[in-house]
Structure 1
Amino acid sequence: MKFIHAADLHLDSPFLGLKTAPASIWKLIYSSSERATINLIDRAISEQVDFILLVGDLFDRETQNIQAQLFLRNQLERLDEVDIPVFISWGNHDYSSESRPEIDWPSNVTVFDSQVSSHKIQLKSGEQVAISGFSYRTRWLNEDLISNFVPDKNAEFNIAMLHGGEKTGEIRNNHYAPFTVGELTAAGFDYWALGHIHQFQKLASSVPIYYSGTIQGRNHNEDGTKGALLVNLTHTETKVNFIETDVITWQKISISVDEKSSIAEILELMADKIKENISDKLALISVEIENQVGNTEETAIQNGTLLERLQDMFSRQTSYWPYEIKEVIQPNERVFSEVDNKFWQASEAQLFTDDVITETAGTLFSNAFIANHFHDQKVQSELKQAVLRNIKQKAGHKGGQSE
C-alpha cells in the first residue's frame, strides 16, 4: 500500500509584510501555496498512490474566497480522473462551521465531520483499509478525542488522521485536540497522520506517528524545505519518504560590520552573501547584522534606508528577495556603557516568561493565533533582541559621548 500524507496547505495565505516586493516577485510569493499544491498532486499521480490524506488547515482561514475553493476542487478532480481517493479533515484554521456551506467536492473526496468516524476502502490489491478522523467545528478544540479512535477489526490496515498538538503542562495552550504520544501508540493503529505542526517530525519509533509539516513555508519561522510524506506500508514494515513541494524558501544570512564599514561596503557584503545561496527556488532572505555601537552608518539600518537600497539591487530578478535587515546584539558584548550585563541577564530571566507575556497581553491572548505567535520561542527571542536594541540606542549613545 502506498499513500501520501500531507497537511497545512494554507491556501490563500496573505503573506503579510511582503506586498511591497516587485510585482514579478510578489506574484511568485502569492501563488506559492497553490504551486506547492500542484506539485503535491503531480507527485500523487506520478507515484500512482492508493489514496491521499489531507490533515487539516487546507485553507488559511475559516472564510475562504471562491478562487481558493475552486482551485482546490480542480486539483482534487485531477485525482478523481485517475481514481485516487482523497480523505480530508478540517483543522483549526479552516474549521467547518455550521454557517459555512460545504463545497461540492468531486466523488473521490471523503470529508470527515466533527465526530470521529471511520471509512473503509478496498485497494486495487484487494486489501481493506480503514481510515479514521474528524474535523474541527470551532477554532479551539480542548477535548482529548483519542479514546474515540477505535481500529476496525475487519480491516487489514487502520490509519488515523489527527490535526492536533501534544499536551503540555500549560492548560491554556491545549486548544488543538490535545494528545500524548503514549495515547497514540496504545490506540492500535498502523499509522498516525498528523497535522497542525508545520515542521516534519517523527514522534515515535514503535508506531509510525508523523507530522508531515506544511507544504509551503509562509513566514521566517517556517524556514527549511517543506513538503509531504510518501508512505509505503506493509504488514512487515513502514517506509516514510519526505517529498519536496515548496517553491519558495525562507533563509537567514549573517554578516558582521564595525564602525569603519561604509554603506557601500555593507551593501556589497550583503549582496555577495545572498548570492552564495544558489537554489532553483525563490529565496526570501532575512539579513542579520552584528553591529557595533558607534557605527556612523547605524541609522541607515534603523530607518530602513539600507534595506531599500539592498532590495533595489535585487528588484530586477526573481531568484532572491531580501525582505528584512535586523541588528543582532550579543548580550555578553559591551554594547552599552550604563547598563550592567548582569542586571540585564537577571531581568531577562524574570521578564521573558510565558506567565509575564500572557499577563502583559491580557485579553489579546483570547485570540489563539496571537497567543500561539507570542509563545513561539523564536518570537520571544526576537522580543529580547528588540529590547536590547532599544537599550543600546539610548545607553550606547550616551556611552559614545563619554568616550
Structure 2
Amino acid sequence: MPGESFRFIHASDFHLEKPLSDLDSLPPHLHEAMAGAPRAAAKAVLDAALVENIDFVVLCGDLISPLAAGPYGMSLLLDYFDQLNENNTPVFWAAGVVDDPANWPDSVPLPPNVTLFPKDRAVSVPVERAGRTICHVIGRSCDGRPTIHVPSYNMDLTDGYTVAVGHGSADAGALAEGRFDYWALGGKHNPETITGAAEQGADYCGSPQGRDLTESGAHGYTIVDVDAEGQTRTHQMQCDTFRYCHVEIDAADIAMTGNLRNLMGERVVRLQHENGGRHLILGWDISITDGEMLHSIGDTQELLQWVRSEYGHGSPSAWTAQLTVRPPQDYPKSWHEEETILGDFLRIAAEHRKSDGREISLLPFTEEHKSLVTTSANLLAEVSAASRKDTLDQATLLGVELLRGGKPNLVQKS
C-alpha cells in the first residue's frame, strides 16, 4: 500500500568547537572569513531546514563540544532549534563523541521538537504529519565504541519507511542486518555512500565544512526525498565557504606545457571556475621522473612564495598551504659515473635503495645530542618500514641538491 512522500535533511559533524587548519598562514583579509567558516556552514544547513519544504531534520553527531565551543557556539544550535520548533519541524540527534549527551548542560534544556537519542539503547520515534505516521526514525547516540552496534537497533516495527540514525564506522554487511530503508550516518568528515547496506541507501553526509587537506573536495549536507512508493533520492547540497583541494602535477604535465608556473596558473584558474567562487586552500603534489627535471622546478621556497603572491591575495583567494616535490626515482647516468662526491653519494644511495633502506641507522646522529634520553633517541632514530623508502628518497634528493650547489627541493608548507 502506497504511503506518503516526504523529505528530510541529513547532516553531521558540524564541529563548531574546531577551527580550520592553516588559519595562521593565511593573508589577513581572509582571517575573519576562515574563523567563521564552520559557523557559516552550520547556519547554511539549518537555514535550509527552515526555508526548504522539510518534514524533519536528522543530525548524526559531533555537532559541538559544549565546553570547548562555549555559549557562543551553543547559542547557534539553540536558536535554530527554537525556530524549527516554531515551525513544528522535528529534529533527531544521534550524538557522537564530542557532543556526548552527558556533557550537555542540565541547565540548558532542549526544545520539545528535539529528540536527543540515548547512548545505552536505540529508540524508535514515529514522524507524524496531519495525524498520519509518515515514517519511523530509529536512533542511538554513540556509546564510546568506534563502530555502530547494529544489533541494538533491532525492534518490532509496523510496515512503513524506516530511517536509522547512527554515528561511527560500519561495513555494508553489518548495516544490512538492520533491514532499514535508509541509514543516515555520521562520523566521517568526507561524504561516502555504502552500497548494499540498506534497501534505499546508506550515506555519510560528511561535514558541512572541510578543515584540512585530508578533507578536500566539496562539503555540505544531504536532502533525502522519499516518494509515495518508498523510493529514495538523495541530493548533495554544498555549503562550504573554504574548499581544500589537492592538485597533482606529473612529469608529463610539465613536459607538455614546458613551463611549470604557467601550468600552475592554469590549474588555479580552472579550480576557481569549478568551485564557484569559494576561497580555495591548495596542496600541490609535483612529481618528476628524473633528476634532470629539477631545473624546471627551481627553488621550491621561491615557487611557494610566487604562487601565494600571484593567487593567494585575491577575492576569492587560492592560497597554497603545502607544496610537495616528490623525489625522482632516477638520476642521470652521467651523475652516477662521476668520480666526485656526488657520484659516490648516488652510488651509495642506489645500494641502499636495493635493500629498501633496511640497513640505514640514524642512531649515531642522535649520539651527538647528549641531552636526549635513551628513549627519545631511539624514537628519533627509528624509521618505520612504511616510511623507509620515502625517507631515503627525500634524503637522496636533499643530498643531490646540496652537492650540486642548489637549494633543497622538499616539502614546503606554512
Per the normalisation by structure 1, the TM-score is 0.74
Matched residue, 1:286: 283
Measured in 2, the distance between the counterparts of 1:210 and 1:162 equals 11
- Where does the alignment leave 5 or more consecutive residues of structure 2 unmatched? 1-5, 253-258, 336-344, 361-374, 377-385, 407-414
- The DSSP-based 3-state class of the residue aligned with 1:114 is coil
1:162 to 159, 166, 183: 166
Per the normalisation by structure 2, the TM-score is 0.72
Moved more, 38-47 or 306-315: 306-315
Determine whether 1:190 maps to 2:181: yes
Measured in 1, the distance between the counterparts of 2:11 and 2:123 equals 19
Seen in structure 2, the aligned counterparts of structure 1 residues 99 and 222 have a Cα distance that, compared at 3 Å, is closer
Determine whether 1:201 maps to 2:192: yes
Matched residue, 2:382: none
- RMSD value over aligned CA atoms? 3.8
Return the letter of the residue paired with 1:183.
A
Seen in structure 2, the aligned counterparts of structure 1 residues 344 and 228 have a Cα distance that, compared at 3 Å, is farther
1:39 to 20, 38, 44: 44
Return the letter of the residue paired with 2:285.
E
Seen in structure 2, the aligned counterparts of structure 1 residues 341 and 158 have a Cα distance that, compared at 3 Å, is farther
Deviation string 1:2-58 (CA, Å, 9 cap, x unpaired) is: 111111112232223332212221222222221111221232233211111110111
Deviation string 1:288-307 (CA, Å, 9 cap, x unpaired) is: 33466475797842xx4543
Determine whether 1:218 maps to 2:211: yes
Determine whether 1:326 maps to 2:330: no
Deviation at 1:330, TM superposition (A): 4.1
Matched residue, 2:10: 5
Question: Which structure is larger by alpha-carbon Rg, 1 or 2?
Answer: 2
Deviation string 1:75-116 (CA, Å, 9 cap, x unpaired) is: 333322322111112212333445865743333211112122
2:141 to 106, 129, 135: 135
Maintained 8 Å contact 1:332/1:341? no
Maintained 8 Å contact 2:142/2:148? no
Maintained 8 Å contact 2:352/2:358? no
Maintained 8 Å contact 2:312/2:320? no
Maintained 8 Å contact 2:357/2:392? no
Determine whether 1:18 maps to 2:16: no
**What are the residue-to-residue correspondences of 1:49-198 with 2, within 5 Å?**
49-59=54-64, 63-97=68-102, 101=106, 103-125=108-130, 126-136=132-142, 140-141=144-145, 145-154=149-158, 156-166=160-170, 180-198=171-189
Maintained 8 Å contact 1:9/1:37? yes
Seen in structure 2, the aligned counterparts of structure 1 residues 39 and 333 have a Cα distance that, compared at 3 Å, is farther
Maintained 8 Å contact 1:7/1:55? yes
Matched residue, 1:48: 53
Measured in 1, the distance between the counterparts of 2:10 and 2:304 equals 39
Measured in 2, the distance between the counterparts of 1:34 and 1:77 equals 17
Seen in structure 2, the aligned counterparts of structure 1 residues 305 and 396 have a Cα distance that, compared at 3 Å, is closer
Seen in structure 2, the aligned counterparts of structure 1 residues 98 and 272 have a Cα distance that, compared at 3 Å, is closer
Deviation at 1:345, TM superposition (A): 7.0
Measured in 2, the distance between the counterparts of 1:296 and 1:225 equals 35
Measured in 2, the distance between the counterparts of 1:53 and 1:131 equals 9
Return the letter of the residue paired with 1:56.
G
Determine whether 1:311 maps to 2:293: no
Seen in structure 2, the aligned counterparts of structure 1 residues 144 and 76 have a Cα distance that, compared at 3 Å, is closer
Deviation at 1:270, TM superposition (A): 3.5
Maintained 8 Å contact 1:214/1:227? yes
- The DSSP-based 3-state class of the residue aligned with 2:320 is strand
Matched residue, 2:243: 249
Deviation at 1:152, TM superposition (A): 4.3
Deviation string 1:122-172 (CA, Å, 9 cap, x unpaired) is: 3225125332222235xx415762111124424633221111113xxxxxx
- The DSSP-based 3-state class of the residue aligned with 2:81 is helix
Measured in 2, the distance between the counterparts of 1:198 and 1:284 equals 17
Deviation string 1:276-299 (CA, Å, 9 cap, x unpaired) is: 322321111122334664757978
Maintained 8 Å contact 1:62/1:96? no
- The DSSP-based 3-state class of the residue aligned with 1:127 is strand
Moved more, 334-343 or 203-212: 334-343
Measured in 2, the distance between the counterparts of 1:386 and 1:325 equals 17
Seen in structure 2, the aligned counterparts of structure 1 residues 299 and 330 have a Cα distance that, compared at 3 Å, is closer
Seen in structure 2, the aligned counterparts of structure 1 residues 271 and 143 have a Cα distance that, compared at 3 Å, is closer
Determine whether 1:344 maps to 2:353: yes
Maintained 8 Å contact 1:15/1:219? yes
Measured in 1, the distance between the counterparts of 2:216 and 2:389 equals 21
- Where does the alignment leave 5 or more consecutive residues of structure 1 unmatched? 167-179, 259-264, 352-361, 364-379
Deviation at 1:216, TM superposition (A): 1.3
Deviation string 1:231-264 (CA, Å, 9 cap, x unpaired) is: 1224441222222222221123345799xxxxxx
Return the letter of the residue paired with 1:322.
T
Matched residue, 2:371: none
Seen in structure 2, the aligned counterparts of structure 1 residues 92 and 30 have a Cα distance that, compared at 3 Å, is same
Return the letter of the residue paired with 1:123.
E
Measured in 1, the distance between the counterparts of 2:183 and 2:93 equals 14
